[in-house]
Amino acid sequence: MTAADVDAVRAAGVSDDGIEDALAVCFGFSLIDRVADSLGFDLPPREVHAAYAERFLAEGYGNET
């Protein structure tokens, strides 16, 4: 991420708060990915994720009320 990247996103109308939120999400995913790689986690096969996709799309990921 460079200053030019941030400038381009701002030019597209994203607020500084939005940019900070996106960076926080990217940081979280990057951290989790590095920890998982360090610990040798294996991902389930694509078929396992595909089996859950329809349910997640219908019900969501959490218990939203």
Domains of the chain, by residue range, sit at: 3-59
Please provide the size of the chain in residues.
65
pTM for the model stands at 0.60
SS3 4: helix
Alpha helices per DSSP H over the chain: 3-11, 16-39, 46-59
pLDDT of residue 14: 97
Mean pLDDT per segment of 10 residues, for the chain of length 65 residues?
A: 92 96 93 94 87 83 60
Cα dist from 49 to 1, 13, 33, whole Å: 30, 34, 17
Whole-number pLDDT of residue 62: 65
Q: Would you state the pLDDT for residue 64?
A: 57
Predicted local confidence at residue 33, as pLDDT: 92
